[in-house]
Structures are given as C-alpha cells and as structure tokens.
Amino acid sequence: MHMEMRESPHNHPAVPGVPAVAAVPGVAAVPGVAAVPADEQRDQRDGTVQPEESGAGSRNRLLARDAISAAQDVLLERYRLASARTAFDLLRETSQRLNIKMHTLADAVVRVPGPVPGADLWFPGRGRSAPPPLPLLGIDQDRSVRLPEVLKAAMRRVLDVTETDMGNVQLAAGNSVLRLERHTGLDRQFTDFFAFVGSPDSATSCGYAAEQRRQVTVRDVSTADLFDEESRRVILRAGSRACHSVPLVDPHGVPLGMISSHHERPLNDFSAARIGALRETGTAVGRWLSWYRRTTVLDALEDLHRRASGAASAAGPGAAPGPAAEDAGRRRTDGRTEGVRP
C-alpha cells in the first residue's frame, strides 16, 4: 500500500544536483547507504499482509517458539524437570512475577552461563548499582522505570531529532537477531515482516548498522542496493522512502538494540549536530540496557533458579544437574549484537 507523498516539516527532500546515492569519504558503505564515519559519531496504522509476504508471520511465530523451546530444553537438562510443561510454567511464572517479557527471560536462560551445580545462588556476591541517568529522555532519575517506558521515550527522542513520525525499536536477542519491540506509524505488514531481523546477513539498514556498529542512513529505499526486493517492497508499501538506524551500544560499543526512523521522502545526510544528538541518545540508552541486563534480567534468572531448584527437589533425588545441562547453559552466540557481560 503506497502512501501519498505529502509536504511535511518532517521531510528532508533531496537537494537538486545532489546524487541520490553518495559514498561517505573514508567509509566502506553499501551503495545507496551512508554509514556515519566514526569521527563524526564522536563529535500505528493497520495493514493487511499481502499473499507474497504471508510466510513472514509463520516464520516469526516459528522463531519465537524456537526461542522458548531452547530455554525449556536448558531447564529440562539442568534441573532434571519432570516435563517441558513444567519448564514452560516456570518461565511463565517468573516472567509474570518479575515483570519481564517471557522471550527476554528465555533468551537469557540460553545466553547466560548456568549456575554452579547444586549452588543455592546463580550469581553469588553480585553487586548492585543505580540505573544510569536518562535526562535526554526526560526520565526522572529518582524514580524507577520499566523497560517499555525507556524504549518508548528513546524512540520518541530519535523521531524528534530526525523529524518524522514513523519508527521502530529492536532489541538484540539470541543468534545475532534483532527482535522488534516497539513501533509507531508502520503498518501491520511491515511489523510482521520485520518482527525478527538477522544480523549481519539480513537485507536491512538495522542489520547493517549492527554489523558496522555505527549509524546508517538509507537515503532512498527505492534505489539502495542494500535491500532485497521483498524487503524493499514491504518498506515502500509502509510509506517509508528513507530510513536512519541508530545503534544502542553498551560501554564496549556492542549494540544491544537499534532505533530506526522512517521517512516519507528521500533523505540527505543529517547534520553533524543531529548525528551527535543521535549518538548521544544511542549511548545513553545502550548503557541503561546494559544495566537492565545486569540487574532486572539477572534478578529474574535468580528467581527462576530458586523455583526450578525447588521443582527439581520435589521431583526426587535423581533430579540433580548434570554435565550436559551445564554445557547447554553455557551456549553463547557470536556476540556481535549481544554484548553478554553479566
């Protein structure tokens, strides 16, 4: 579904005489895509899934189910639980008790090294720290905030800087995947198709930005070589003619998430001031996400360990963790988009 192109103060139309595709000096950029140089970085609408993209929904449901199944397998092996249903119930109950999304908890079960066999605590001696401040997002440091509030405010900040009303937020999940968490102004077809994005092999600006660990501008979706034709078609139907992706990086520069703005008209490069503001936002939110992983997520894992150990004890003396469980609990991804440092 193509949107009518309207004049808007949130558009940055191409300047006559300036090529739609231009390379940034000193940066190896995909044709039609501008990666912001490292030195510069330092300074819902409803839609219908079309038949040709109808497989996206089933693909995404399969990916989501696989993530939960992998966590169930780890718990079954580690705690010698009675059944996969018991493992699922433990994940669900901990998710509800600790106010953490179940897929986030499941990802952590697979991603984080498991506890010492027989230990009462998964993370003994773990220290705690206050959350990093988020003044750029207008969030009061003196009150506790939840992840959805931070992601919503972060997306709003990026869309304000880039002057658009369309955008989305993704968080890094297992196996170098970005999972869609929030969005605005994008149709159902878009959000179904891009619910999961693989990095770096996916034909997307967000995947490329995660691989490059820097901001990426797609000046014109219709001509950029980055996209395969199916991805390009879905993006254009959503009314996005250009996009800009901002990595949310931890203190080591590893992307823990991504915010992308989408624009109705082709873009020129953003000014150094805007790039700097976006970099500052990505750094601040990335630090908060790193803190969230070290506190809220590990709190949930500790609670899960306590409850699963109790379930194992109730199952009888044969329910002791074994070597296979520890190997499963120590499985890691390649870390390009995760930065796992609990």
84-113 pLDDT, tens digit each:
999 999 999 999 999 999 999 999 999 999
The set of residues, in sequence order, having a beta carbon less than 8 Å from that of 164 and lying 6+ positions away, is 10, 11, 185, 261, 262, 263, 264
In a domain, 26, yes or no: no
Asked if residue 172 and residue 315 are part of one domain, the reply reads no
How many Cβ atoms are within 10 Å of 163's Cβ, its own excluded?
Answer: 15
pLDDT for 131-166, tens place per residue? 999 999 998 876 789 999 999 999 999 999 999 999
Compute the half-sphere exposure of residue 264: CA atoms within 13 Å on the CB side of its CA: 14
Could you give the count of Cα atoms lying within 13 Å of 101 in the half-sphere of its Cβ?
15
Together in a domain, 304 and 198: no
Answer whether residue 47 is part of any domain.
Answer: no
Q: Taking all residues of the chain, what is their mean pLDDT, rounded to a whole number?
A: 79
- pLDDT one-digit tens code per residue, 172-185: 987 678 999 999 99
Q: What pTM did the predictor assign?
A: 0.78
Confidence of residue 234 (pLDDT cuts 50, 70, 90): very high
Q: Which amino acid appears at position 241 of this protein?
A: R
Residues 64 and 143 in one domain: no
Q: What residue numbers bound the domain in which 173 lies? A: 33-42+136-290
Buried b (16+ CB within 10 A) or exposed e, 277-288: bbbebbbbbbbb
User: Which residues have C-beta within 8 Å of that of residue 200, sequence separation ≥ 6?
Assistant: 176, 207, 208, 210, 211, 336
Residue 128 lies in a domain: no
> What is the per-residue pLDDT for 55?
62
Q: Are residues 71 and 220 in the same domain?
A: no
Does residue 187 form part of some domain?
yes
Lowest mean per-residue pLDDT among 59-63, 103-107, 222-226: 59-63
Does 214 share its domain with 81? Answer: no
Q: Answer whether residue 214 shows pLDDT above 70.
A: yes
Q: Are residues 156 and 280 in the same domain?
A: yes
In a domain, 283, yes or no: yes
Q: Is residue 163 part of a domain?
A: yes
Token couple for 203? 């034909």
The reply to whether 82 falls in a domain is yes
pLDDT in tens, 272-286: 999 999 999 999 999
Residue 4 lies in a domain: no
Residues 241 and 320 in one domain: no
Instruction: State the average pLDDT over residues 200-204.
Output: 67
318 and 215 both lie in a single domain: no
Task: Looking at the structure, tell me whether residues 247 and 282 fall in a common domain.
Answer: yes
pLDDT at 336 over 80: no
In this structure, the answer to whether residues 166 and 285 fall within a common structural domain is: yes
Considering only CA atoms, which of 320, 317, 293, 300 is closest in space to residue 119?
320
CATH number of 285's domain: 3.30.450.40
- 274 and 304 share one domain: no
d(CA 156, CA 241): 20
Instruction: Please give the tally of structural domains in the chain.
Output: 2
105 and 223 assigned to the same domain:
no
